[in-house]
C-alpha cells in the first residue's frame, strides 16, 4: 500500500475542491448559453423525477406515519394529542421532507450519474465528444443539474403531502383523532417561513446531488474499479453535503425569519 505525505493529501483535496468549483461554475454559466439541450434535460427529468417517485412516496408516507405514532405518547402526556397534525406538518415541511427526499435521490441518482459518466469517461466517449467539438459539460452536466434541481423541488412537495397523509392515517385509525381536526391544525401551523424553508432546501440539495455525481463521474479513472469507486464516493459525498448544508440553511433561514 503506497504511503502519501500529508502535503500530497492536502494538495489532492485542494485540487479536488478547485476542480469541483470550476465544474459548478461551468454548469451554471452554460444555462445562459447556446446550444441548449432541452431533449437531454427532459430525458434526465424523467429519469430523476419520475424514476424516483415511488421510493420518495414510500419513504414520505411511512416517515409521516412513524412520526405521528412515535410522538403520540408524549403529546398524550400533556393532553395535546390534537396537535399531532401540527407536529407532523411542521416536521415534514421544514425538515424531514426535503432531507429524506434529498437522501433518497442522492442514493439513487447521484451514484447513477457518477456510474454513467464514469463509464463514458473510461471508455473514452467523453474524449470523443471533445474531438467532435461538443462541450461535455454543456451536453452531459448542465442538463442533469437543471433536471435534478427542478425535479427535487417537486419531489419534496409530493413527499410532504404523502407524509401528511401517512400521519393522517395513524391519527384517525390508531389515535382516534378527527380528520377535520388533523388537517385544520396541520394547515394552520404553517407560516410563510416554514414553506419557504421547506421549498428552498430541495433546490440546493438537487444542485448538490447532480454536481457531485457529475464531478466524480467525469473524474473517474482506472477502468471498472475506478467507476465503482466514483459511484460510492458520489453517493457518500452527496449525502454528507446534504446533511451538512441542511444545518447551515436551517440556521440562516431561522435567523432571517426570526424563529
Give pLDDT tens digits for 112-165.
888 888 888 777 777 787 778 777 778 788 888 888 899 999 999 999 999 999
HSE value, Cβ hemisphere, 13 Å, CA-based, for 93:
21
The predicted structure's pLDDT at residue 258: 66
Percent residues over pLDDT 90 in the chain: 13
The predicted structure's pLDDT at residue 112: 83
The predicted structure's pLDDT at residue 159: 92
How far is it, in rounded angstroms, from Cα 24 to Cα 158?
Answer: 28
Dig out the grid coordinates for 18 from the structure: 478547485
Axis-axis angle for helices 6-29, 192-218 (nearest 10): 110
Percent residues over pLDDT 70 in the chain: 97
The predicted structure's pLDDT at residue 161: 92
Place of cell 462541450: 135
The predicted structure's pLDDT at residue 2: 55
| Residue 190 burial (10 A CB sphere; 0-12, 13-18, 19+) | middle
Residue 3 pLDDT > 60:
no
| pLDDT single digits (tens) 177-200 | 888 888 888 888 888 888 888 889
Residue from 233, 238, 230 nearest 206 by CA: 238
Of 12-26, 41-55, 82-96, 97-111, the poorest mean pLDDT is in 12-26
Work out the pLDDT band at 1, boundaries 50, 70, 90. Answer: very low
**Do the Cβ atoms of 110 and 12 come closer than 8 Å?**
no
Higher pLDDT, 182 or 81: 182
The predicted structure's pLDDT at residue 253: 85
Work out the pLDDT band at 216, boundaries 50, 70, 90. Answer: confident
Work out the pLDDT band at 259, boundaries 50, 70, 90. Answer: low
Average pLDDT of the residues of the chain: 84
In the chain, where the domains are located: 35-256
The predicted structure's pLDDT at residue 229: 83
Amino acid at each position: 500500500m503506497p504511503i502519501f505525505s500529508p502535503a500530497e493529501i492536502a494538495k489532492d483535496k485542494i485540487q479536488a475542491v478547485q476542480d469541483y468549483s470550476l465544474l459548478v461554475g461551468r454548469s451554471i454559466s452554460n444555462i445562459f448559453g447556446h446550444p441548449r439541450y432541452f431533449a437531454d434535460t427532459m430525458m434526465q427529468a424523467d429519469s430523476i423525477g419520475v424514476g424516483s417517485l415511488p421510493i420518495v412516496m414510500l419513504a414520505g408516507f411511512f416517515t409521516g406515519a412513524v412520526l405521528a405514532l412515535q410522538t403520540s405518547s408524549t403529546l398524550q402526556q400533556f393532553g395535546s394529542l390534537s396537535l399531532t397534525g401540527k407536529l407532523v406538518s411542521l416536521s415534514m415541511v421544514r425538515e424531514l421532507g426535503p432531507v429524506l427526499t434529498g437522501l433518497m435521490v442522492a442514493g439513487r441518482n447521484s451514484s447513477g450519474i457518477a456510474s454513467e459518466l464514469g463509464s463514458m469517461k473510461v471508455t473514452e466517449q467523453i474524449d470523443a465528444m471533445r474531438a467532435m467539438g461538443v462541450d461535455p459539460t454543456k451536453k452531459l452536466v448542465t442538463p442533469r443539474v437543471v433536471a435534478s434541481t427542478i425535479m427535487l423541488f417537486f419531489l419534496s412537495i409530493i413527499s410532504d403531502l404523502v407524509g401528511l397523509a401517512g400521519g393522517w392515517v395513524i391519527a384517525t385509525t390508531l389515535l382516534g383523532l378527527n380528520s377535520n381536526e388533523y388537517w385544520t391544525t396541520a394547515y394552520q401551523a404553517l407560516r410563510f417561513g416554514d414553506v419557504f424553508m421547506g421549498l428552498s432546501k430541495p433546490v440546493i440539495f438537487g444542485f448538490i446531488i447532480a454536481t457531485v455525481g457529475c464531478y466524480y463521474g467525469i473524474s473517474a479513472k482506472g477502468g471498472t474499479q475506478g467507476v465503482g469507486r466514483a459511484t460510492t464516493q458520489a453517493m457518500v459525498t452527496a449525502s454528507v453535503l446534504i446533511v451538512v448544508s441542511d444545518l447551515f440553511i436551517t440556521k440562516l433561514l431561522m435567523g432571517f425569519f426570526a424563529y
